[in-house]
């Protein structure tokens, strides 16, 4: 397994630290991924943590050239079908997630289960609040959109998502269900981004022998 990182911001540096602590061959990092030698790319799994704009520009190169790709960049949900189809056309394995934290993926499962029960029971209105650091470009967050999709599918309608950008908050997501007689609230709070980085490296390891395009949460159930 050889890994190359696309994007060398905070997440890229954390992923690099984890790779170097494990028995994984490290091919380095790039902030100009389309300039990567195709011969090197064919040997590597690329972990992409860039920006929405960069991923939109680069995803075809990633699909055409890399052995496999792990995408942690968010903000491209509107072209998801196009991206998935292109990776499948190229035959390049891809694992994507709006959040690679194991805890968040458990939170997805819990939210899906509870919203299904409350959708069947009726009488509850869902809401959501997400908070992140002031540098985050997309709002609502990709994680919040994934949670909202689960709730919408199980309860109908469209859950309202409120976004807050402040300071250096790694990420807080609260899902609530308001009824006439009670309220249910669930919150996941990240203390750092290291959990996201560890999950991304775990995803890269899962690409060995993998085919097709997969959301990370479906591979850890």
Name the residue ranges covered by the structural domains of the chain.
2-96+195-219, 102-190
**Helix residue ranges per DSSP H, 21-155:** 38-41, 52-65, 80-90, 102-121, 142-155
Distance CA 136, CA 132 (A): 7
Nearest Cα residue to 133 out of 10, 16, 8, 1: 10
The residue annotated as part of the active site, out of 136, 173, 188, 193, is 136
Instruction: Decide if 61 contacts 54 (C-beta within 8 A).
Output: no
Taking only the tens place, the pLDDT of each residue in 122-161 is 999 999 999 999 998 889 998 999 999 999 999 998 999 9
The single residue of 13, 60, 132, 145 carrying the catalytic annotation is: 132
Euclidean distance between the first and final Cα of the chain, in Å? 23
Selection from 70, 217, 201, 52 nearest residue 136 by Cα? 52
pTM (2 d.p.) = 0.81
60: annotated active-site residue: no
Which region, left, alpha or beta, applies to residue 88 given φ > 0 means left and ψ of -120 to 50 means alpha?
A: alpha
Q: Tell me the pLDDT of the chain (221 aa) as tens digits.
A: 999 999 999 999 999 999 999 999 999 999 999 999 999 999 999 999 999 999 999 999 999 999 999 999 988 999 999 999 999 999 999 999 988 998 999 999 999 999 999 999 999 999 999 999 999 888 999 899 999 999 999 999 899 999 999 999 999 999 999 999 999 999 999 998 899 999 999 999 999 999 999 999 888 76
Is 133 designated active site? no
Q: Is the peptide bond preceding residue 50 cis, with omega within 30 degrees of 0?
A: no
User: Into which CATH architecture does domain 2-96+195-219 fall?
Assistant: 3-Layer(aba) Sandwich (3.40)
CATH class given for the domain over 102-190: alpha beta
């Amino acid at each position: 397994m050889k890994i190359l990182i696309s994007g060398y911001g905070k997440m890229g540096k954390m992923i690099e630290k984890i790779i170097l602590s494990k028995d994984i061959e490290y091919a380095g990092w790039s902030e100009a991924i389309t300039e990567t030698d195709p011969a090197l790319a064919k040997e590597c799994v690329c972990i992409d943590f860039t920006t929405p704009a960069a991923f939109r520009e680069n995803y075809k190169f990633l699909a055409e050239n890399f052995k496999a790709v792990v995408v942690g960049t968010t903000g491209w949900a509107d072209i998801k079908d196009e991206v998935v189809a292109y990776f499948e056309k190229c035959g390049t394995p891809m694992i994507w997630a709006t959040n690679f934290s194991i805890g968040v993926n458990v939170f997805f499962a819990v939210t899906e289960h509870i919203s299904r029960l409350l959708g069947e029971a009726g009488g509850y209105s869902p809401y959501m609040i997400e908070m992140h650091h002031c540098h985050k470009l997309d709002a609502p967050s990709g994680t919040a959109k994934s949670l909202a999709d689960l709730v919408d599918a199980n309860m109908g309608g469209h859950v309202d998502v409120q976004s807050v950008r402040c300071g250096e908050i790694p990420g807080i997501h609260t899902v609530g269900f308001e009824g006439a007689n009670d309220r249910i609230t669930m919150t996941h709070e990240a203390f750092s981004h290291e959990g996201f980085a560890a999950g991304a490296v775990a995803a890269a390891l899962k690409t060995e022998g993998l085919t097709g395009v997969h959301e990370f949460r479906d591979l850890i159930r």
